[in-house]
Structure 1
Amino acid sequence: MQPITRLLCASILAVMSPLAWANDTNLQARHQWHEGIATGYQLLTTQTGELAESARGYCENPAKDSRARLERAWLDAFLAWQRVRFVDFGPVENNNLSWQFQFWPDPKNLIARKAAYLIGSDKPITTQVISQSGVAVQGFPMMEYLLFDQQLNAGDNALPAARTCELLTNVATHVKSNSDELRAGWQAFRPHYLETDQYRDTTIRAGMATLEIMEERRLARPMGLRGNGKRNPYITDAWRSGNTPMTVEATVDGLRQFFLPGLAALLEAKGESGLAERIRKQFGEVQQNFPGAHLPMATALNEEGQFRVLQSLYVDISQLTTLVNDQAAVALGVVRGFNSSDGD
Structure 2
Amino acid sequence: MHLFTRLCGLIALVAASVSTHAGTPEQAALEQFHQSIKVGYNTLTTETSTLLRAASAYCEEPTTNHRKALNKGWLDAFLAWQAVRFVNFGPVENNNLAWQFQFWPDPKNLIARKAKTILKAEAPVTSNLIEQSGVAVQGFPMIEFLLFDEQQSIGQDALPAPRSCELLIKVAEHVNHNTEALASQWSDFRPHYLANALYQETTLKAGMTALEILEERRLAQPMGLRGNGRRNPYIADAWRSGNSLKAAKAGVAGLQNHFLPGLTTLLDARGESSLASRIRAQFNKVADNFPAADAPMQTLLGDDDRFRALQGLYVDVSQLATLVNDEAAVALGVIRGFNSSDGD
The TM-score normalised by the length of structure 1 is 0.92
SS, match of residue 293 in structure 1: coil
Maintained 8 Å contact 1:293/1:306: no
Amino acid at match of 2:92: V
Contact 1:114-1:137 at 8 Å conserved across structures: yes
Please give the alpha-carbon distance, in whole angstroms, between the structure 2 residues aligned to 1:337 and 1:203.
15
Q: Please give the secondary structure, in 2, of the residue aligned with 1:281.
A: helix
The equivalences for 1:227-266 within 5 A come to: 227-266=227-266
CA deviation profile, 1:241-261 (whole Å, cap 9, x unmatched): 000000000000000001000
Structure 1's 339 and 91: CA in aligned 2 closer, same or farther, altered over 3 A? Answer: farther
Residues 53-80 of structure 1 show CA distances to partners (whole Å, capped at 9, x for unaligned) of: 0000000000111000000000000000
Q: CA deviation at 1:294?
A: 2.5
CA distance in 2, matches of 1:246, 1:263: 24
Instruction: State the 1:290 CA deviation.
Output: 1.9
Partner of 1:13: none
Q: Does 1:27 align with 2:44?
A: no
Q: Which has the larger radius of gyration?
A: 1
Determine the structure 2 residue equivalent to 1:105.
105
Deviation at 1:342, TM superposition (A): 4.2
Within 5 A, what are the aligned runs for 1:194-273?
Answer: 194-273=194-273
In the alignment, what sits opposite 1:53?
53
Distance 1:206 1:339, change over 3 A: farther
Partner of 2:44: 44
Unaligned runs of 5+ in 1: 1-22
The match for 2:283 is 283
Contact 1:146 1:152 in 2 (8 A): yes
How much has 1:337 moved relative to structure 2? Answer: 4.2
Aligned residues: 323
Structure 1 residues 91, 76: CA separation in 2 closer, same or farther (over 3 Å shift)?
same
Asked if structure 2 preserves the Cα contact closer than 8 Å seen for 1:130 and 1:171, the reply is yes
Structure 2 contact 100–138 (Cα < 8 Å) conserved = yes
Instruction: Give 3-state SS (helix, strand or coil) of 2:237's partner.
Output: coil
- Runs of 4+ more than 3 Å apart: 337-342
Q: Residues 249 and 293 of structure 2 are in contact (CA less than 8 Å); yes or no, is this contact kept in structure 1? A: no
Task: Provide, for residues 309-334 of structure 1, a one-character-per-residue CA deviation record: whole Å limited to 9, x for no partner.
Answer: 11111110000000000000000000
Cα pair 2:42 2:183 within 8 Å, conserved = yes
Contact 1:205 1:337 in 2 (8 A): no
Matched residue of 1:221: which SS? helix
- Does residue 179 of structure 1 match 2:179? yes
- Distance change (3 Å), C-alpha of 1:160 and 1:299: same
Query: 1:253-332 alignment to 2 at 5 Å?
Result: 253-290=253-290, 292-332=292-332
Distance 1:231 1:339 in 2: 22
1:16 corresponds to: none
Distance 1:342 1:79, change over 3 A: farther
**1:127-146 correspondence runs (5 A):** 127-146=127-146
Distance 1:310 1:112, change over 3 A: same
Q: CA deviation digits over 1:283-313, x for unaligned, max 9?
A: 0100111253331010010011211111111
Q: Deviations 1:122-173 (Å, cap 9, x if unpaired)?
A: 1100111101110000000000000000001111000000010000000000
Looking at structure 2, the residues matched to 98 and 171 of structure 1 have their Cα atoms a distance apart, in angstroms, of 15
Q: CA deviation at 1:341?
A: 6.5
Return the letter of the residue paired with 1:150: E
- The one-letter amino acid of 2:77's match is A
Cα distance change of structure 1 residues 179 and 313 upon mapping to structure 2, 3 Å threshold = same
Aligned partner letter, 2:143 = M
Quick one: structure 1 residues 209 and 73, their matched pair in 2 at CA, closer, same or farther if it must change by over 3 Å? same
1:224-245 Cα deviation digits (max 9, x unpaired): 0010000000000000000000
Measure the CA separation in 2 of the matches of 1:339 and 1:97. Answer: 23
Q: Is the 8 A contact 1:49 1:176 kept in 2?
A: yes
Distance in 2, Cα, partners of 1:316 & 1:326: 15
Report SS of the residue matched to 1:292.
coil
CA RMSD after TM alignment: 1.4
Percent identity of paired positions between Structure 1 and Structure 2: 61
Give the 3-state SS of the residue equivalent to 2:292 in structure 1. Answer: helix
- Identify if the C-alpha distance between structure 1 residues 305 and 110 changes in structure 2 by more than 3 Å, giving closer, same or farther: same
Contact 1:82 1:254 in 2 (8 A): yes
Change (3 A) 1:194 1:327: same
Question: 5+ unaligned residues in a row in structure 2: which ranges?
Answer: 1-22
Q: In structure 1, how many angstroms separate the alpha carbons of the residues matched to 2:127 and 2:71?
A: 21
Q: Measure the CA separation in 1 of the matches of 2:324 and 2:48.
A: 31
- Give the equivalent residue in structure 2 for 1:69: 69
Q: In structure 1, what is the Cα distance between the partners aligned to 2:88 and 2:220?
A: 22
